Amino acid sequence: MLRLRGRSFGPGEFAVMAVVNRTPDSFFDRGATFAFQAALDAASRLIGEGADIIDIGGVKAGPGDPVGPAEEIDRVAGLVAAVRERHPDVIISVDTWRSEVAEVVAEAGADLINDTWGGVDPALPEVAAEHGLGLVCAHAGRLRPRTRPHRIGYEDVVADVVRYTTALAERAAAAGVARDRILIDPAHDFGKNTWHSLEVSRRLGELVATGWPVLVAVSNKDFIGEALGGLPVERRHVGTLATLTVSALQGARVFRVHDAASARKALGVVARLTAAARGPGRPAAEGRGPRPQE
C-alpha cells in the first residue's frame, strides 16, 4: 500500500503525477511554466484534469546552465507553498536530488521527494524521515546529476534496476522513512539507452514483484520517439499513452506525465478492461482523481 497525505493507493489503483517545471529550458514545454503565475495556474489546471500528485521541478534533468541549491530553492519553495494554500488536499512532490532543497520544501508543504538521480545525496533519506515525507528511489545508472550516459552497458539492465532501487528503498526505510511512503522508479532514459528503456518497460513486472510501489516516468521521452522511428517531442503523445497502458497492466502504481487528462482517461480504460476480464463481482479499482468528461 502507498500512503501519501492521508490518501492510499493499493494494487490496481493508479495515481497520476503531473509535471510542473519552473525551468526556462524544459525539454517538453521549453519554459512555458517558468513564470511563477504560469506554474501555479498550470498546477490548478492539472489538478482539475485529474492529477493526484503535482511534481514540481526547478532544475532541468539534462545538461544545461548550472542551477545551484539557492536558485533551485527560489524556484520551487514559493510555488510549493502557493499550491498548498490553493489546494490543501493535493499531494505535492518536488523533483530534487538535494537534501538542502528537500529541507526547505518540506517546511513549505511538500509531501514527497522525487529523487530522480538515485541517491547521490546520502542525507536525503534522513531529511525525508525527519519531516515525514515520502521518497522516490530511482535508478539513474550511477551517473552524476544532469549528465548523459556514454556507451553505458549492463549485463542485465532490469536486474540492475531491481537490485539498485530496492537497496535504496531499504536504506530509506532504515533511515526512518515509512515503508508505505517509499516508491521505486526505473527512471527510463536516465543512465539508459533506448534498448535499456524498452527492456525495462517490457519487464516492468519484475519491479512490481518486489512489493514496492512502482512509479513510471515515461512521458514524451526520447526512447519513445526513437522506438517510433525518430519522432520529435511533440509527436510522442500516442506512444506515451501506449507505454503507460503497458506499465499499468504490469502493475505500476504512479504515472508521471505532462498531460494529466489523457493519462487519467487511459488509466480509467485499463481499470475498466481489467475489471471486465476478472468477471462480474470482482472489479478492479478505478484510477483516483476526478474523471474528465468523455
Burial of 147 (0-12, 13-18, 19+ CB in 10 A): middle
Q: What is each CA distance from 212 to 8, 81, 117, 184, 195, in whole angstroms?
A: 14, 29, 18, 6, 24
Cell reading at 137: 528511489
Is 272 an active-site residue?
Answer: no
Of 221, 253, 265, 288, which is the active-site residue? 221
Task: Centre a 10 Å sphere on the Cβ of residue 41 and count the other Cβ atoms it contains.
Answer: 14
CB 203 within 8 A of CB 156: no
* Separation of alpha carbons 21 and 265, rounded Å: 23
Query: What is the H or E stretch that residue 48 is in?
Result: helix 36-48
Count of C-beta atoms within a 10 Å radius of residue 238: 12
Q: What element of type H or E holds 207?
A: helix 205-208
**Catalytic annotation, pick one of 98, 203, 253, 256:** 256
Specify whether the CB–CB gap between 225 and 233 falls below 8 A. yes
Query: CB–CB of 50/28 below 8 Å?
Result: no
Other C-beta atoms closer than 10 Å to the C-beta of 233 total 16
* Catalytic site includes residue 221: yes
C-alpha cell at 148: 548523459
User: What's the 3-state SS for 136-168?
Assistant: EEECCCCCCCCCCCCCCCCCCHHHHHHHHHHHH
- Distance from C-alpha of 21 to C-alpha of 33, rounded to nearest angstrom: 6
Q: Which residues are catalytic?
A: 221, 256
